[in-house]
Amino acid sequence: MDIFNRNGERNPDDHFSNLMFSRKAEPEQEESRVDYMQLMESVETLMGLYSQYKPTIEKINLNPLIAKFLKKE
């Protein structure tokens, strides 16, 4: 938009206006398709792995380490 041109049209040869007021190209919206069966299988796998390693995670007891980073001074 040329600041001296009140009709809002941009002159393609006006380098200053193109540099300062260029419009960003809007990203194209892609239609996403989700395979819900694959998603549920992945969630089931992750939950199975979590339940398998849960005792080990509880033995490590990371609470003091996490509390150290979250501690407000």
| pLDDT tens digits along 15-57 | 777 777 766 666 777 778 889 999 999 999 999 998 998 888 7
Residue 21 lies in a domain: no
Residue 48 lies in a domain: yes
- H helix runs in the chain, sequence order: 15-20, 36-60, 63-70
Residue 51 lies in a domain: yes
Residue 49 lies in a domain: yes
CB contact at 8 A, 1 and 17: yes
Q: Token digits for 54?
A: 């849960």
Residue 10 lies in a domain: no
- For the chain, how many structural domains are there in total? 1
Residue 11 lies in a domain: no
Segment 1-8 mean pLDDT: 55
pTM above 0.85, yes or no: no
CB contact at 8 A, 26 and 33: no
* Residue 2: band (very low, low, confident or very high) from pLDDT cuts 50, 70, 90: very low
* Residue 1: band (very low, low, confident or very high) from pLDDT cuts 50, 70, 90: very low
Note down the domain range covering 68: 35-72
Residue 20 lies in a domain: no
